[in-house]
Amino acid sequence: MFDKKFFNKKIEPRCEYCSGGYLSSDGKKVLCKKKGIVEKGFSCRSFDYDPLLRVPRPAAPELPTFDPEEFKI
């Protein structure tokens, strides 16, 4: 479906972001066209990566800034 040369080739296959699977309404299972209801981490031979289904990791939280006056005794 997508040109794989633009994406990391070492992506772990997971039904969570397969083009043949749909996330269930509760978000805990995947409804697969081939295997039925499966876990999000499951994968089969029919895995086809869909980058639009992959949810990126959240960005690191912003660290607070401190005033040097707070550390003086």
Residue 6 located in a structural domain: no
pTM more than 0.85: no
Q: Which pLDDT score, from 0 to 100, does residue 38 have?
A: 92
Residue 62 located in a structural domain: no
Residue 67 located in a structural domain: no
Residue 64 located in a structural domain: no
Residue with the two structure tokens 């295997």: 35
User: Which of 45, 49, 47 is closest to 2 using CA atoms?
Assistant: 49
pLDDT at 4 over 60: no
Residue 15 located in a structural domain: yes
Residue 59 located in a structural domain: no
Segments forming the whole domain that contains residue 46? 11-51
Residue 63 located in a structural domain: no
pLDDT digits (tens, 9 = 90+) for 14-28: 888 889 888 899 989
Burial pattern 7-45, b for ≥16 Cβ within 10 A else e, equals eeeeeebbbbbbbbbebeeeeebbebeeeeebebebbee
**Total count of domains within the chain:** 1
pLDDT digits (tens, 9 = 90+) for 27-60: 899 999 889 999 988 988 888 888 888 877 788 8
